[in-house]
Structure 1
């Protein structure tokens, strides 16, 4: 690897996760490099529009050209492009918000967000990064990932975002096995208290898992016991079926081989 490029990428990540603004000395200390080295890297990134320097504090923050790069990634992300229509249909059918995400390291990156058709003001979550183990989207993907990748992710430290986050690899592995059998995964307040999710894997033309699509919303709507819901039109099982069928349709749209999309919850 080219060390200068690696260090420049490290600066961008530090500003993204530890910012919003950091000084040259702070960045040098975090990276374990000399201050002149950090300063030279920052000036180069600034010239390219990837970081900007605040005039009052002289500290650095992420620059506007990163937005262009991020949008370019989304525009060329085939899963996102193909999912727009299917996500809108699922949102209309379920009455819930729909997220589409891909695995990025040990996090799920949200690449598309279809708003809930009716409700309060909603915040666009495209670009959100969520630990894979705390969301239904991540569980759906890892449940169908190659065994080596699944074991790598399960053996690493599992994130804790709420008291309901699962930190036991054995218990999480059992959830992944169940998701593989049913064709969908569930999250119960593991990312944020009061929120839940139901997601299913999406496969590409190679037959591998490309990402996941799922509904997200208040736990009382998504995971309430259907037996006590009376005339409620979208109990948990109906939502799960709708998510799974949408994922299958999206998989076919991505060119998944015949039978691949059906293996998720046959």
Structure 2
């Protein structure tokens, strides 16, 4: 499993809740460390006293967001699943069968990326092919820095031209798809098609993760068709 970068990188200011901020940082650190952390390691990661870390963890445990295993290491818990289920539920429900068909047709890993902010997107869905002898595997939730990667460039290609934008974004507008190599996951080539924001959905991109650029160009028409299908299904 790849190690995720910090989810927010937020600088605490006077208008924020310090306690809530610390609790969210704990969840971020645990997402990066699936093997779990000790209470002391949590305190060090957050930059608080061990007693404060213990109180924060007790609160997160009460909400079933973290748990302690038999070795007293703190891990993420099942309460997060129910929270995650509601994130872009309509989009995920509609997109899942489209991604499943794309993954099986191309025998490659399909993904759906949504834009979160001006500077960041995030992998919302990942579908791996069932019968491929070899494919690329990664987890949903991975953040993507705009404009790096085919998905980010494909999203930008659905928007008006910006001064100083990457030439590859303009190329994606002309081609109808974006291709990038090694910008998000090393040794991986991505091909993506952007989907403009809708009445209830954010800007997004559907795409494939492949091993080489020839495969990306060969499967680009399949991605274009999948994006067209998904766009027609969205409100």
Scaled by the length of structure 2, the TM-score of the pair is 0.75
- Of 177, 199, 205 in structure 2, the residue corresponding to residue 206 of structure 1 is 199
Q: Which residue of 2 aligns with 1:154?
A: none
Q: Which residue of 1 aligns with 2:221?
A: 241
CA contact (8 A) 2:158 2:195 kept: no
Take 2:30 and 2:130, find their aligned partners in 1: how far apart are those partners? Answer: 35
Residue 208 of structure 2 is aligned to residue 197 of structure 1: no
Give the ranges of 4+ consecutive aligned residues of structure 1 lying more than 6 Å apart after TM superposition: none
Report how far residue 54 of structure 1 moved: 3.3
Report how far residue 130 of structure 1 moved: 4.5
Cα deviation 1:44-66 (Å, max 9, x = unaligned):
1112221112343x332222222
CA contact (8 A) 1:95 1:118 kept: yes
Scaled by the length of structure 1, the TM-score of the pair is 0.67
Note the residue ranges of structure 1 that are not aligned, 5 or more in a row: 152-169, 224-235, 256-266
Structure of greater Rg? 1
Take 1:207 and 1:69, find their aligned partners in 2: how far apart are those partners? Answer: 19
Residue correspondence of structure 1 range 167-178 to structure 2 within 5 A:
173-178=166-171
- Which has the higher mean CA deviation after the structures are superposed, 99-108 or 244-253? 99-108
Report how far residue 218 of structure 1 moved: 1.8
CA contact (8 A) 2:114 2:202 kept: no
Residue correspondence of structure 1 range 8-157 to structure 2 within 5 A:
8-18=23-33, 20-56=35-71, 58-70=72-84, 72-73=85-86, 76-104=88-116, 108-116=121-129, 118-120=131-133, 125-132=138-145, 133-144=147-158
Report how far residue 197 of structure 1 moved: 1.5
Take 2:38 and 2:224, find their aligned partners in 1: how far apart are those partners? Answer: 47
Report how far residue 201 of structure 1 moved: 0.8
CA contact (8 A) 1:108 1:131 kept: yes
Take 1:50 and 1:207, find their aligned partners in 2: how far apart are those partners? Answer: 28
| Greater helix share, structure number | 1
Q: Which residue of 2 aligns with 1:179?
A: 172
- Of 202, 217, 231 in structure 2, the residue corresponding to residue 251 of structure 1 is 231
Report how far residue 23 of structure 1 moved: 2.7
CA contact (8 A) 2:109 2:135 kept: no
Count of residue pairs the alignment pairs up:
218
Take 2:75 and 2:57, find their aligned partners in 1: how far apart are those partners? Answer: 10
Q: Which residue of 2 aligns with 1:222?
A: 215
CA contact (8 A) 1:102 1:211 kept: yes
Note the residue ranges of structure 2 that are not aligned, 5 or more in a row: 1-15
Cα deviation 1:142-175 (Å, max 9, x = unaligned):
344578xx89xxxxxxxxxxxxxxxxxx7x7222
- Backbone CA RMSD of aligned residues: 3.2
